[in-house]
Amino acid sequence: MDLKIKDVADLLNVSETTIRRWLSEGKIPAYRLNHQYRFSLIEIEEWVMRHKLGHSQEPPAFSANARIELQEKPSVSQKTGIKQFSLYRAIHKGLVLNHVPGSTKEELILNAIKPIAKELGLDAEVIGDLLLDREKLMSTSVNRGIAVPHPREILANLKHDSISVVFPAKPIAYGALDGKPVHTLFFLLSSCEKNHLHLLAKLAHLTQLPKTQALLEKHPTKNQLLEYVKEWESGISHPGHE
């Protein structure tokens, strides 16, 4: 699936000016078609994972300037509220699981997906295989003890987007570049490609924040996590948001 500048700006919650600046600086992958920029959805997903969730030595794409542009020029979808609380809604539809057993990331993923799939009316074995296949392509581990397992394929039969937060019984090695074991996993299951990228980008932004990292280390309840996420999303388009 190919995207235009407007699509990418909307999905990443930044202005079109920011996307054009990233293009001029060579910070975001794109190609030319009839003298216009186009973006591959798969390449943008990998870019989000690599640059915004800690896989790169380069500064995160969401810089202070990018956030200022976001605050000053909120997208139409933000103004109407269509996507403003999308992360809150996805986590609300998911589970928050504590003390999930597993001595390897494969065991942990398979153990966690059983209750998640049951809650969503999905086949745990099928979803588990999709998640493990994605890990073989590129680890979804990130720095700061966080991972975002998700399948490469979009789940067309899923009624709504879902993010389940999983806290392992003990932190496990996950292949993060900083060498730190993973203590929090966000299982992202999406019903369409654009929703998937939009939620991935929001997770990327949120999990960079020291306040988020401190909260996750305390293993918050679902209500505590939802309250925190709702407050964060409500402030995205307002000055002073961190």
- Name the residue range of residue 65's domain: 2-80
pTM of the model: 0.78
Final residue of a domain: which of 31, 54, 80?
A: 80
Question: Contact at 8 Å (CB) between 199 and 161?
Answer: yes
Q: Give the CA-trace dihedral at 95, 101, 102, 106, to 10 degrees.
A: -20
| Banded pLDDT at 71 (limits 50, 70, 90) | very low
The tens digit of pLDDT for each residue in 117-159 reads 999 999 999 999 999 999 988 788 877 899 999 998 788 888 8
* pLDDT(72) > 70: no
CATH of residue 105: 3.40.930.10
Catalytic residue, chosen from 150, 183, 196, 198, is 150
The tens digit of pLDDT for each residue in 195-224 reads 888 898 889 888 889 999 999 999 999 999
Final residue of a domain: which of 32, 65, 80?
A: 80
Question: Contact at 8 Å (CB) between 108 and 100?
Answer: yes
The average pLDDT across 57-85 equals 43
Known catalytic membership, residue 150: yes
